[in-house]
Amino acid sequence: MTATQASAAPAAEPILELDDLDVVFTTESSKVPAVRGVSLQVRPGETLALVGESGSGKSTVALAAMGLLAGNARATGRAVIDGTDIVGADEAGLAALRGRTVSMVFQEPATALDPLTRIGKQIAEVIRNHGDVSAKDAAARAVDLLRRVGIPEPEKRAAAYPFQLSGGQRQRVVIAMAIANDPALLIADEPTTALDVTVQAEILDLLRRLAAETRTGVLLVTHNMGVVADFADRVAVMYQGRIVETGTVEDVLLRPSHDYTRRLLAAVPRLSVAEPDGRAPAGDPRPDDGSGGGDATAPVVELRDISVVFGRGKRAVHALDGVSLVVRPGETLGLVGESGSGKSTAARVALGLIPPTSGTVSLFGADLARTRSRARRALRSGIGVVLQDPVAALDARMTVGECVAEPLRVHRRGLSAQERRGRVEAVLDRVRLPRDIVRRAPGELSGGQRQRVSLARALVLEPRLLVADEPTSALDVSVQESVLKVITELQDELGFACLFVSHDLAVVQQFARRVAVMRAGRIEEQGLTGETLLHPETDYTRRLLAAVPVPDPVVQRGRRAERLATLAAGRTGAEA
């Protein structure tokens, strides 16, 4: 499925052909063009990746190709699938095409399935939409499909409801529905964005295998350049509704010709990997600046043998199990792990928001369990917090100025209104936001601006510790880059320590001096980032690192082969 193979069969008619496609959304006040003059082709057996940042129009293109645009959207131009123009086709004609000739895999497996219908029945529905198949035969074929997408015990699982499956398994069910009638074209809209990296690697392997088996054309919509490098033959880059560059995956990712593509790729955090031949790693992890990072200094926060148990009896969940962590003044500790590994719980224990079931937390040298309300509040004023979702973290009814001033009102009651205003303006300067932003509502700001407001609020009390829980995972890479840069500069300037929780190993590698890898409530290993993430000691960390796709198609091809070989060896080893 490489580019050379695809070009070896140039005679194949494209299965999807977009020709000068425009999409306009009508809102109450205006008409917003989302897609402008997009033309592209997908041929049988090839994967075209449509990449771009949020708002670039890439998902709108995918939905337009399915005829699934929202009611206030109008498409013009041509979108031809297997000879049928989707633009202007009637609903009956579209229904006959969808699920048979073209199918779609969606981003959010948690909500993509009907919660009240058994998964086998939902797959059977797609089969019966397009053929005179008895309910019994359709059910049997649904079980076969579940087996094909790698669901264990498919006969039993067919009777399960979506909530009984993990996120990765749900996405497999959505894929089973999509391939039920062997479509000629598969449109995948961010199919792995909601999944952990190891699950992402499995789902990409599955899609690749299925597409190769049936020579299905794939339109892959994604923002993740690693996924592109792993999966695509050709790439189209979208920016503000237009395609700015199209080419083979090697050309676009390694030799980008358009300025925007170059900027986009430069902002992607790259995971440095130890080369097998012992060459120096490609990237440059953040050097140890030595500013108080020595092990001799008293820790800012220390978790000692912490366990957290939610619930009791048979239903008890051990969220943390014997976790010990230290963050020293001025240093950044990265806390990484997959969803459910306990990294956010550990951060909340450090904040004193979750009392540990056993173990001790000391914050700035004081045992948190022994401090009472007033002293504890004083301790807490030394911590700033930035959370993942910049929309939910700010009160939409407050102005930006009120949001940032709130910690001062709570912890620095002696300040006059004027002093307070002065401090708010100073901290807004620090996070590079204009001062006149104070009167605006958080809803009027972009995601990156909002996250900087969160950061300003976290820093207004000049904390000694910043706890950042996935502060950039809701942001585009270029915005992520600027937010991380601001945090780094301020840390050098103000000298606060940072507990940085993230699922993104590449970001942690760039940002943190030390790293702790978590798995199922335990710390798998911890050490200096430069060592632990380059030469991991445990198999789990190695597997985690191997699953991260790097945005270089040549390197990624080698990594994939290596990962699959390791997995195969592990499998035969286990069977032996």
Partner 1 sequence: MSTPSYLIRRVLQAVAVIVIVTIVVFGLLHALPGGPARGILGPQATAQQIARFNHEQGLDQSLPVQYLHYLNQLLHGDLGTSYTLNAPVSRLIGERLPKTLVLTVLSLVIGLLLAIPLGMWQAVRRNRPADYVITTLSLIAYSTPVYFLGLILVLVFSQVLPWFPSQAPQGQSLAQVFSEPQALVLPVATGAASMVAVFSRYMRAATLENLSEDYVRTARAGGSRYGAILRRHVFRNSLTPVISMLGYYLPVLFGGALVVEQLFNYPGMGLLFWSAAQASDYPVLLGCVLVIAVATVVGTLLADIVQRIIDPRVKAGRA
Site for partner 1 contains 213 (CB under 8 A): no
Residue 384 CB neighbours (<10 A)? 23
x-or-dash pattern for partner 1, window 173-192, by CB under 8 A? -x--xx-x------------
Residue 166 C-beta: closest distance to partner 1, Å: 13
Sign of CA dihedral 223, 226, 228, 230: negative
CB-neighbour burial class of residue 28 (10 A; exposed 0-12, middle 13-18, buried 19+): exposed
Binds partner 1 by CB under 8 A, chosen from 40, 81, 113, 336: 113
Per the CB < 8 A criterion, the answer to whether 513 and 285 are in contact is: no
According to CB under 8 A, which one of 111, 257, 339, 358 is a site residue for partner 1?
A: 111
Task: For the CB of residue 109, give the shortest distance to partner 1 in the complex, in Å.
Answer: 9
Site for partner 1, residues 417 to 456, rule: CB under 8 A: none
Q: Shortest gap between Cβ of 114 and partner 1 (angstroms)?
A: 4
Q: Which is nearer to partner 1, 180 or 512 (CB)?
A: 180
Among 115, 276, 287, 313, binds partner 1 (CB under 8 A): 115
Determine if 65 is a binding residue for partner 1 (CB under 8 A). Answer: no
Among 97-105, 199-207, 330-338, 462-470, the segment contacting partner 1 (CB under 8 A): 97-105
Stretch that binds partner 1, among 105-113, 283-291, 386-394, 473-481 (CB under 8 A): 105-113
Q: Which of 175, 170, 235 is nearest to 204 (CA)?
A: 175
Contact between 95 and partner 1 by CB under 8 A: the answer reads yes
- Is residue 117 within the footprint of partner 1 (CB under 8 A)? yes
**Least distance between partner 1 and beta carbon 393 (Å):** 24
Q: Confirm or reject binding of residue 114 to partner 1 (CB under 8 A).
A: yes
12 Cβ neighbours under 8 A, 6+ residues apart = 43, 44, 45
The reply to whether 89 sits near partner 1 by the rule CB under 8 A is: no
Q: Please report whether residue 319 would count as binding partner 1 according to CB under 8 A.
A: no
Q: Which stretch binds partner 1 (CB under 8 A): 14-22, 150-158, 171-179, 560-568?
A: 171-179
Which of 50, 104, 210, 323 contacts partner 1 by CB under 8 A?
A: 104
Count interface residues toward partner 1 (CB under 8 A): 33
CA-wise closest residue to 426 among 450, 459, 393, 454: 459
3-state helix, strand, coil in the chain (%, to 5): 40, 25, 35
In whole angstroms, how far apart are CA 562 and each of 310, 441, 442, 504, 538?
39, 50, 46, 21, 17
The one segment of 41-49, 123-131, 270-278, 403-411 that binds partner 1 by CB under 8 A: 123-131
Phi–psi pair at 352, nearest 5 degrees = 80, 15
Residues 42/15, Cβ–Cβ less than 8 Å: yes
Stretch that binds partner 1, among 36-44, 161-169, 202-210, 566-574 (CB under 8 A): 161-169
Q: How far is CA 138 from CA 125, 126, 133, 319, in A?
A: 8, 9, 6, 41
Binding range to partner 1, per CB under 8 A, among 49-57, 120-128, 335-343, 454-462: 120-128
Residue type, 261: T
- CB of 66: closest distance to partner 1 in angstroms? 6
505 binds partner 1 (CB under 8 A): no
Nearer to partner 1, 69 or 458 (CB): 69
**Binder to partner 1 among 74, 130, 208, 542 (CB under 8 A)?**
130
Interaction of residue 542 with partner 1, rule CB under 8 A: no
Q: Dump strand ranges (E) for 332-463.
A: 332-336, 358-363, 366-367, 383-386
- Between CA 335 and CA 501 the distance in angstroms is 5
Asked if residue 526 lies in contact with residue 515, where contact means CB atoms within 8 angstroms, the answer is yes
Q: Give alpha helix (H) positions in 11-164.
A: 58-66, 91-97, 119-129, 135-148, 154-157
Contact 512, 238 (CB under 8 A): no
Query: Please, which residue, 71 or 276, has the CB nearer to partner 1?
Result: 71
- CA-CA distances (angstroms) from residue 375 to 114, 248, 328, 367, 437? 50, 61, 21, 11, 34
Beta carbon nearer to partner 1, 92 or 296:
92
Report, in angstroms and rounded to the nearest whole number, the Rg of the chain calculated over CA atoms: 26
Could you tell me the CA-to-CA distances from 42 to 14, 18, 176, 535 in Å, in that order? 5, 9, 22, 40
* Residue closer to partner 1 (CB basis): 126 or 505: 126
Is residue 399 near partner 1 by the rule CB under 8 A?
Answer: no
Residue 222, φ and ψ in degrees, nearest 5: -160, 160
Nearer Cβ to partner 1 (35/177): 177
Q: Which of 58, 100, 141, 519 binds partner 1 (CB under 8 A)?
A: 100
Kindly tell me which residue out of 74, 89, 161, 293 binds partner 1, with binding defined by CB under 8 A: 161
Name the phi and psi angles at 160, rounded to 5: -80, 155
Question: Interface with partner 1 includes 171 (CB under 8 A)?
Answer: no
- For the bound state, the minimum distance from the C-beta of residue 92 to partner 1, rounded and expressed in Å, comes to 8
Q: Which residues bind partner 1 (CB under 8 A)?
A: 66, 68, 91-92, 95-100, 103-104, 106, 108, 111-117, 122, 125-126, 129-130, 161, 163-164, 174, 177-178, 180
